[in-house]
Amino acid sequence: MALPSFLQLTLDLFGGNAAPVVDASNQAAGQQNIAGAATENVAITVSITAVASPPAEPLESVMRPAAFAHPRANREARLGDSIVAFEMRRGKRKTIGFSVGADGLTVSAPRWVPLYEIDKAVQEKSRWIVAKLQEARERQSKLESNRIEWKDGTLVPFLGEQVIVVIDSRHAYTSSPHAASSRGLKADAQAQLHTDAQALPGVPRLTLHISLPQDASPERIRDAVQAWLMRQAKRIFEERLNLYAPQLKVQWTKLSLSSAGTRWGTAKSDGSIRLNWRLIHFRMSVIDYVVVHELSHLRVMDHSPRFWSTVESIMPDYAALRGQLKDDAIPRWE
Ligand SMILES: [Zn+2]
């Protein structure tokens, strides 16, 4: 009969020290513990919990474990100190597979694999799973903290420096709901960058004065800041293209700005270059890396060793700069 070995296996997974509560005086503690036990050991199938209840533990000694829950979770496991509710999918496949995404853990298993084997595989993979879940959570909270609150005094990164957004209602009479998207001189009057040379170390020395009424909506503030950043991006990218094109002996023909969610840059053999305007958040040397990268494509249209040595000929430290181009380093724009 397969059941006894199955029992042994499942108990081993929990350290093998699970003993049934037999002492009647422990009854109250045992009952108190039911809720905690249920969440702790759900991975044990019903037949197990019926046979061997987990040891009674004083509630105060039970640390609240870290919980990771997939929104479509249909099974749970305790992995070290963490309770992981995961999505289990059955399908046509030969092995048990694990994936950790923004939602959490998904376990894919062949239809014929019994549940206890899946639980065992989850336990065996527990270090990897918990590390990946923690990474995903850290990344998510970093993204959250990067969300800009569009109001007076908010900080926006520009060329690697923090810029304080100042809502300047003194000039608000020049604005209209569509002003932020207008172009040319009038738009330039909408936003002005000021530098405070006297700023204390560690205090942002740049302020961006936006001509809007004090009660302007967050969307209007965002649009005004974005319009200004995009104008700066266009101006600075052109300047950098003109600086590096002669060094690489290439000719660029047209610059267009792309938006968030796409790549940092692309180059076509006709000499047209697309750069993501959000590069303007990074310091100049990182922007320069992308500019040199795209210009180098006008000489070598692939990522072969010849391409990278072209980049390196202009920018020996390109690898370090490339490493700083992480999209989670820039704020969310919504
Ligand atoms: Zn490339």
Distance 301 CA to ligand 1 centre (A): 8
Do 310 and 320 lie in a common domain?
A: yes
pLDDT digits (tens, 9 = 90+) for 74-88: 999 999 888 999 999
Residue 227 in any domain: the answer is: yes
Look at residue 219 in the predicted model and tell me its pLDDT: 92
Do 307 and 212 lie in a common domain?
A: yes
Do 36 and 81 lie in a common domain?
A: no
d(CA 17, CA 31): 19
Look at residue 187 in the predicted model and tell me its pLDDT: 45
Do 50 and 74 lie in a common domain?
A: no
Residue 280 in any domain: the answer is: yes
Distance 290 CA to ligand 1 centre (A): 9
Among residues 97, 119, 145, the one where a domain terminates is 145
Distance 295 CA to ligand 1 centre (A): 9
Do 85 and 220 lie in a common domain?
A: no
Residue 334 in any domain: the answer is: no
Do 269 and 248 lie in a common domain?
A: yes
Among residues 61, 79, 101, the one where a domain terminates is 61
- Sign of the dihedral through C-alpha 42, 46, 51, 56: positive
Which backbone phi and psi does 111 adopt, to 5 degrees? -60, -35
Distance 147 CA to ligand 1 centre (A): 29
Distance 270 CA to ligand 1 centre (A): 15
Q: Is 80 left (phi over 0), alpha (psi -120 to 50) or beta?
A: left
Considering the entire predicted model, what is its pTM?
0.57
d(CA 332, CA 143): 7
Distance 305 CA to ligand 1 centre (A): 12
Look at residue 78 in the predicted model and tell me its pLDDT: 93
Give the residue numbers spanning the domain of 54.
1-61
Do 278 and 322 lie in a common domain?
A: yes
Do 102 and 16 lie in a common domain?
A: no
d(CA 312, CA 244): 13
Do 53 and 70 lie in a common domain?
A: no
Distance 140 CA to ligand 1 centre (A): 27
Q: What's the number of CA atoms in the CB half-sphere (13 Å) around residue 289?
A: 17
332-to-18, 61, 69, 209 alpha-carbon distances in Å: 48, 41, 24, 21
Residue 123 in any domain: the answer is: yes
Residue 219 in any domain: the answer is: yes
Residue 274 in any domain: the answer is: yes
Residue 215: which CATH number?
A: 3.30.2010.10
Do 34 and 120 lie in a common domain?
A: no
Residue 150 in any domain: the answer is: no
List the chain residues with pLDDT less than 50: 1-55, 57-63, 172-188
**Strand ranges across the sheet with 161-167:** 155-158, 161-167, 206-210, 191-195
Do 39 and 68 lie in a common domain?
A: no
- Sign of the dihedral through C-alpha 207, 212, 217, 219: negative
Among residues 11, 30, 61, the one where a domain terminates is 61
Residue 26 in any domain: the answer is: yes
Look at residue 99 in the predicted model and tell me its pLDDT: 94
pLDDT digits (tens, 9 = 90+) for 265-293: 999 999 999 999 999 999 999 999 999 99
Do 94 and 165 lie in a common domain?
A: no
> How many domains would you assign to the chain?
3
